[in-house]
Chain A
């Protein structure tokens, strides 16, 4: 009986541990916010590549698109 109680307590402790660990491990914000931020990150990479290649037109359009996304995220 004592062993069974110990097994049950261990199982419940594992549940608590997994929940706490998952909470600490998960990134903050809702999944929608994270998706938008990921998209902005992708745009930044595109912008950097466009600026480095000297294609001014492409860079401006990308900057505009990024500003729009940032406005949407800020609400």
Chain B
């Protein structure tokens, strides 16, 4: 079960995310909401895997469509939290991210893609999230403002998400093929983020 969830890389990434959530809550509660959403969605997906997906696969029974929709909606919290966190760091946007998340969740629940189509849909969402986040960075650079620790956190999130996209989904066409490598990268991201958060001014 532990190995099916992702083994040690998965555990390390989850612990790093939990520490980053705790530290960010103390320093920047406004930004920490996005990380908490990511953590809860990640744990929610693990619970779904353990309770429904693995038993259904073992018993060769069909997974209930509601469970698949819930899994997709929880996965979409990841890209949404990336955009929300980055735009929070660079200023602006909040409710629109959740509106987009609701829209994307409903669209994927209705169309219910599977196999290659699902991988392509996830790749498109990941790509869109990284591009929208990168746009926040470009907008900030255009304003010629002095970088702060919050900006460094935002930049780190965009860069690591871009690296994950390049190393797995973009290169191989499937976001789940290099899941463990992605977990290692996520762990690096949240360790650095935790270190940066200690420098963050209370807001």
Contact = CB atoms under 8 A, between A and B. Distances in A.
Interface string A4-42: 100110111011001100110111000100000000000
A3 interface: yes
Interface residues of A, number: 18
Interface in B129-185: 137, 140-141, 144-147, 151-152, 155-156, 159-160, 162-163, 166-167, 178, 181, 184-185
Contacts of A10: 163
Contacts of B147: 19, 22-23, 26
B155 A19 contact: yes
B150 to A, nearest CB: 12
Contacts, number: 52
Contacts of A8: 160, 163, 167, 185, 188
A45 interface: no
B181 A18 contact: no
Contact of A19 (B151, B163, B181, B192): B151
Per DSSP, are chain B's interface residues mostly helix, strand or loop, or mixed?
helix
A10 B166 CA distance: 11
A21 to B, nearest CB: 8
* Ranked 5 nearest A-B pairs via Cβ: A11-B159, A11-B163, A26-B146, A4-B167, A22-B147
18 contacts: A1-B181, A3-B167, A4-B181, A4-B184, A8-B160, A8-B163, A11-B159, A11-B162, A12-B192, A14-B159, A15-B155, A22-B145, A22-B147, A22-B151, A23-B147, A26-B144, A26-B145, A26-B147
Interface of A: 1, 3-4, 7-8, 10-12, 14-15, 18-19, 22-23, 25-27, 31
Given A15-B159, A26-B146, 8 more contacts: A12-B192, A15-B152, A19-B151, A19-B155, A22-B141, A23-B147, A25-B144, A31-B145
